[in-house]
Amino acid sequence: MTVFYRCLLNLYPPAHRYKFADEMVDVFVEAEAEAKCTNLLGRTAFYFREFTGVLSGALREQFCAIDVCEPQETKFGGTMIRQTRCRFPRSSTAMMTVVLIIVLGMIAKIQGVSHFYGRVITSELPHQPFQWPSYYGLISGIAVVFLLAWAVGLAVWAIAYAMRRSAAQQLGDFEAWPQARQ
Amino acid sequence: MTESTAITEPVLLILLSLAEQPRHGYSILKDVEEMSERRVRLSTGTLYGALRRLLDDGWITRHSADDKSRGRQDYRLTARGRKVLQQEISRLKQLTHLAGLRVAAEEQP
């Protein structure tokens, strides 16, 4: 069980793992030794509490590691302000999605109009088969290009964000002179 | 975690546990269980999540324990943490007093 518990600790962010993993395993081993003296129900409750605790704790720490939950106090011009450590606008993803929906909506509207006029032209000339307007392909092309650009942009943003987070986090947790602080 | 917000019961129990003396992880776990008469049983995940936040807020500090062979770390309450704890106790006292008055008023005909 200790090996399994140690594996579960890999779900925590590296900084948390580096600082607390050994201690957590020590405490788990001590608590497990005590739980082993109880009955089956007690042992089951112990393992359930421990594993759910680790899973929920890891999830919470991961969220905190990407600054979803905890703002940081910083001194700015003599006054303390609270802000998240992430300075990249997180709203950009939402904005990109909103813009994508608007553009796709507009394209769909234009296509609807062009399709309507296409039908009108066909009804006026019944012997001629319906032909898509020449700009139809162009609009579809723009939509595809826009979709691809959005997907690539989102992927690049995610990679840059992850790299920035991991680097900043490692630097933030780095203690140059741990002895000097004690 | 800010000083203005009410702290949760597990965090309050952890702070109370450290108010008496510096303790290591397992000792905190057992003391919290004892103080709450086995009502609050912290998992290691919950305990170390709370300890990490308390360390970040500067309410507790971490030191190498005397028993270095096991790599244990002691946690101690800082002056700031003690102040927060006193504020929280005052808040709870005020709340208990108010609750007593309201319940007494309810019981009177």
Q: Which CATH number is B99's domain given? A: 1.10.10.10
Q: Is B44 helix (H, G, I), strand (E, B) or coil?
A: helix
Interface of A with B in 70-99 (CB under 8 A): 70
Question: A182 to chain B: which residues are within 8 Å by CB?
Answer: 63-64
Nearest Cα residue in chain B from A69 = B1
How many helices (H) and strands (E) in chain B?
Answer: 4, 2
Q: What is the pLDDT of residues B37-75, one digit of tens each?
A: 889 899 999 999 999 999 999 999 998 866 655 567 889
pLDDT confidence of residue B72: 78
Asked if residue A71 belongs to a domain, the reply is no
CB A15 within 8 A of CB A170: yes
Q: Is residue B85 part of a domain?
A: yes
**B46 interaction partners in chain A (CB closer than 8 Å):** 53, 56-57
Whole-angstrom CA distances from A101 to A91, A96, A98, A150 are 15, 9, 5, 11
Residue from B65, B59, B71, B66 nearest B19 by CA: B59
The DSSP call for residue B70 is G
Distance, in angstroms, between A23 CA and closest chain B CA? 7
Q: Are A46 and A99 in the same domain?
A: no
Q: Looking at the structure, do residues A100 and A53 belong to the same domain, yes or no?
A: no
**CB-CB under 8 Å, B41 with A23:** no
Instruction: Compute the distance between CA of residue B12 and CA of residue B42 in angstroms, rounded to an integer.
Output: 13
Of residues B83, B60, B79, the one with CA closest to residue B3: B83
Nearest to A16 among B43, B52, B63 (CB): B52
* Residue B72 in domain: yes
Lowest mean pLDDT among A59-73, A75-89, B3-17: A75-89
A106 and A47 belong to one structural domain: no
Task: Count how many domains chain A has.
Answer: 2
The answer to whether residue B57 is domain-embedded is yes
Is residue A173 less than 8 Å (CB to CB) from chain B? no
Contact A143, A107 (CB under 8 A): yes
User: Closest to A22 (Cβ–Cβ): which among B26, B49, B71?
Assistant: B71
Instruction: Give the residue, A108 or B1, on which the prediction is more confident.
Output: A108
More confidently predicted of A171 and A116 = A116
Do A159 and A98 sit in the same domain of this protein?
Answer: yes
Domain range for A25 is 2-65
Cβ-based contacts of B64 with chain A (< 8 Å): 182
Give the number of C-alpha atoms closer than 13 A to the C-alpha of residue A129, restricted to the C-beta side.
1
| Number of domains making up chain B | 1
Across A15-24, A59-68, A160-169, B60-69, least confident range: A160-169
Q: For residue B99, give how far its alpha carbon lies from the nearest alpha carbon of chain A (Å).
A: 33
Kindly report the number of other CB atoms within 10 A of residue B54's CB atom. 24
Question: Percent of chain A, pLDDT > 70?
Answer: 63
Q: Say whether pLDDT at A163 is over 80.
A: no
Q: CA-CA distances (angstroms) from residue B14 to A35, A117, B23, B75, B77?
A: 21, 73, 10, 10, 10
Interchain pair A53, B42: CB under 8 A = yes
CA distance B109 to chain A (A): 47
Q: Would you say residue B82 has pLDDT above 90?
A: yes
Do residue B45 and residue A55 have CB atoms under 8 angstroms apart? yes
A22, A27, A60 ranked by CB distance to B49: nearest? A60
What residue type is assigned to position A87 of the chain? R
Residue B75, min C-alpha distance to chain A (Å): 12
d(CA A144, CA A142): 5
Residue B44 domain-assigned (yes or no): yes
- Alpha-carbon gap: A169 to the closest alpha carbon of chain B (Å): 14
The beta-carbon neighbor of A182 closest among B26, B52, B63 is B63
Give A57: exposed, middle or buried? Use CB within 10 Å, 0-12, 13-18, 19+.
buried
Quote the strand ranges of A45-173, DSSP E: 72-76, 79-83
What percent of chain A shows pLDDT beyond 90?
4
- The residue segments making up the domain with residue B32 are 9-107
Q: What is the DSSP string of B1-16?
A: --TTSPPPHHHHHHHH
In this structure, the answer to whether residues A102 and A168 fall within a common structural domain is yes
Of B41, B46, B72, nearest to A26 by CB-CB distance is: B72
Q: Are B28 and B14 in contact (CB under 8 A)?
A: yes
